[in-house]
Structure 1
């Protein structure tokens, strides 16, 4: 591909199309792009043209720049379709990534008013409170705080959740048949503890996701997730 200087299409747009095509066909995540000088020489364009193309590509999430190191292909975002039930583990596998979890906290507690309402159970009943860091290819993606009714899932252990995906535990050990889930989304700023685990700067935008998972009419899971805004995006298709 080459740049046509007689075209009405701005040079930086043409250059951007060429570079994006190269990224999508011949490069992988974290691959380093040529320097601005090398791109200038290869396509016979000015440094200003290269910088404008790079700025647009960075804004659209194709690349990221590391001061003193260079420009790199940005990791692919997790693009989750919202019209069907999904799990983090299965979505990562579909993308060819290796999902894993670190259990940060595992407690059995007497639920208060808020959690009892969200799980539709009586106050002071025993529930699990499980905090997990979810990773893809060993990179932190989100923190999940999950509440489960103890009576529905007796004797789950921390070790079990460190080895087996939670929904696999549900279906394989407890014969759960998930019938639906409801999610609520909210933009939030990342607090200090979340930023530490997610390896991001404090107070950058993140996505708060509340999930209510149902087995027929019974809520069997209430989870609050804080997802990295630069790693995960959600989409929905609207049909007339």
Structure 2
């Protein structure tokens, strides 16, 4: 039930409650509770319910059929760890290429308003910034700027990031399981600095990627800007 004394927003509590209900009590294609029933059962507003339902749909736990209602998706039975899907190392290996990573910088910084919002933390809270150049067969493929909430990865060091893939560290050292990653792609032009690192002409066309990664508790554990 909703805990009014909990410091977490009611909306976040409702998302967690409904997610647990889907995972433990419901089957794929079951009809989801109506907004009115959720309001009555948990004593929350219709706006709160709609926000929670939109988040659950975004996370892949429910889907809508026009004119028929909202239903449970198969995500709760897949129980798959999306680490492999988002691993540059594994993806390059699957293509027969030899992946390598150069860690260009590793810093612990105070978060700005922008990155605090992306990471779900308070402005001024500590975050980890990692800049990496990803290569395949020694050819630069991607420049990544990754931001992590410091509280989720206390003890993470540059040495660890140099030695092992980041998602391997997430899983093995911090027991973090990736369930959802929100990605936005756009076309762009590389900057002067990026062109040197990627070994391409200045103003070359590129693909830009913003990725926000959530664990199975709906907590943001990574925000990455890639070129």
**Shorter-chain TM band:** 0.5 to 0.7
Question: 1:210 aligns to what?
Answer: 210
Which digits, 9 at most, give the CA deviation of each residue in 1:181-202, with x for residues without a partner? 0100111111100000000000
Match of 1:182 in 2: 182
Distance in 2 (alpha carbons) for counterparts of 1:152 and 1:98: 30
User: Does the 8 Å contact 1:85/1:181 carry over to 2?
Assistant: no
3-state SS of the aligned residue for 1:179? strand
Aligned partner of 2:192 in structure 1 is: 192
Aligned ranges for residues 113-132 of structure 1 at < 5 Å? 113-132=113-132
- The alpha carbon displacement at 1:109 in A equals 0.1
Paired position in structure 2 for 1:233: none
- Provide Cα deviations, 1:114-166, integer angstroms capped at 9, x if missing partner: 00000111111100010000001111001000000110001111111111000
Consecutive unaligned residues of structure 1, counting only runs of 5 or more, are 1-83, 227-240
Corresponding residue number in structure 1 for 2:169: 169
Q: Which has the higher helix share?
A: 2
Q: Name the SS for the 2:168 alignment partner.
A: helix
Report if the CA contact (8 A) 1:100-1:135 is conserved.
yes
User: Is the 8 Å Cα contact of residues 128 and 148 (structure 1) preserved in structure 2?
Assistant: yes
TM-score by length of 2: 0.62
Structure index of larger Rg: 1
Partner of 1:151: 151
Q: Deviation at 1:91?
A: 0.3
Q: Which has the higher contact order (CA 8 A, sep 6+)?
A: 1
**Equivalenced residues, count:** 143
Show the counterpart of 2:221. 220
Cα RMSD, aligned residues only: 1.0
What is the CA-CA distance between 1:85 and the residue it aligns to?
A: 3.2
| Matching of residue 98 in structure 1 with residue 90 in structure 2 | no
